[in-house]
Copies of this chain bind each other. A is one copy, B any other.
Amino acid sequence: MSESPPFTIVGAGLAGTLLACYLGRLGYRVELHERRPDPRHHNQDRGRSINLALSVRGLHALREVGLADEVLRSAILMRGRMIHGQAGDLTFQPYGKDDSEALYSVSRAGLNLLLVEAAARLPAVNLYFGQRCTGFDPGSNVLDFQDTGKIAAEIIVGADGAYSAIRAQMQRQEHFNYQQEYLTHGYKELTIPAGPNGAFQLEKHALHIWPRGSFMMIALPNQDGSFTCTLFWPLQGPNSFAALTAPDDIRRFFTQQFPDAVPLLPTLVEDFLHNPTGSLVTIRCRPWHQGGKAVLVGDACHAVVPFLGQGMNAAFEDCTVLTQCLQAHAPHWEAAFRDYEARRKPHLDVLADLCLENFIEMRDRVGSRWFVLKKQLAVALHRLLPRWYLPLYTMIEFTRIPYADALRRARWQDRIVRGVLIGSGLLLLGLLWWQLR
């Protein structure tokens, strides 16, 4: 298979390196170009120990390339949500019926390094770092790199993220549909360091949420005992990142809103003032490929907001499906890419909507009794009828049911449950009337 055309992957982030592993293991020649320096020699992103929630779709992909066990060894099980009330009161909401339905907190930098190392071990894969791709010529498929010149590619894979240079070139096609939509909220990361002897200062096996209606803070555990907090807050306006710049105001805001977190955030003011404010964008486009010459994966074709923790998981699932399509159609690459887009695009459109909706659920509804009651009913139904009743969240996080199918099924289930409840109510009233008559 070594005569098969080489895939030139642009971007050695999570999706690019996983795809290199998939393709390299099948014997396809892979050239992988990344603008950042080699993470095997440079400790990148060490200042910001960002973590991600790994769930079933991502785990399945890692298992297919033989890396799941290694990743899980340095991951932290999160069994549910720990809700922090404004008075510091705690409520735990389990994600599922048992530990098979749980998320894993993993370090982005650690996982990326592991994937780079795994890709580098494959003889068919070549890695190049410090190469910033600025576009490609759609006629010749020659890639342009800043500083390092031009490289001819047979098949280009754009795994270069939400601000993809490969997609930017494809956007110049006729009839390219494109949407970028920013939230008016941005985010900022803060650190809760480990306690004495690396002790976790909050419950270790939980994803912590401070829901505050129009905004929220979350925290995920890191391997070293620390937590990475993320505050999601408006970028502009009277209560916003733009308005909150004085140290006293920062301290006052946190003391009012997150009183139980403040004692655990010794570098709060410094972190708040010096850490960058991130923005949250949803990106949709179509087509995801240019003939049989170029194709997109991950954020490059479908960036989503992070409120379902599905960005990485969906990108990994892209790699799973793209590999299946390449195997099914080789050497008809255009047919493979068309099949891949048909199998992924409708589901990623649904995911984008669900992620936007889940922001409202996380920041607002998780704090309400009605939400807790409904969640408890859903979990009870799921326990009672585990094969028949699957809550939507369960299907997204803990199954590989395609997203749009999951949404359709959830709507049906809800309709049936509502029907049964109303029917039972009527039956009860009928019986009562019959008794009292």
Contact = CB atoms under 8 A, between A and B. Distances in A.
Contact of A177 (B176, B177, B182, B235): B182
A235 B174 CA distance: 12
Among A175, A180, A182: residue with most chain B CB under 10 A: A175
Contacts of A175: 182, 235, 279
Given A174-B279, A279-B174, A179 B182 contact: no
B180 A178 contact: yes
Given A175-B279, A177-B182, A178-B178, 12 more contacts: A174-B279, A175-B182, A175-B235, A176-B180, A176-B182, A177-B180, A177-B181, A178-B179, A178-B180, A179-B179, A179-B180, A179-B181
Nearest to A279: B175
Contacts of A235: 175
Interface in A160-209: 174-182
Interface in A219-248: 235
Interface residues of A, number: 11
A420 B203 CA distance: 58
A161 to B, nearest CB: 16
14 contacts: A174-B279, A175-B182, A175-B235, A175-B279, A176-B180, A176-B182, A177-B180, A177-B181, A177-B182, A178-B178, A178-B180, A179-B179, A179-B180, A179-B181
Contacts of A177: 180-182
Q: Is the interface of A mostly helix, strand, loop or mixed?
A: strand
Closest 9 CB pairs of A and B: A179-B179, A175-B182, A177-B181, A178-B180, A177-B182, A175-B279, A177-B180, A178-B179, A174-B279
A21 to B, nearest CB: 34
A279 to B, nearest CB: 6
A176 B181 CA distance: 7
A180 B285 CA distance: 9
A279 B175 CA distance: 8
A235 B177 CA distance: 15
Contacts of A178: 178-180
Contacts of A181: 177, 179
Contacts of A182: 175-177
A279 B181 CA distance: 24
Contacts of A279: 174-175
A211 B184 CA distance: 43
A95 to B, nearest CB: 33
A134 to B, nearest CB: 15
Nearest to A236: B175
A279 B180 CA distance: 21
A181 B287 CA distance: 11
Nearest to A171: B180
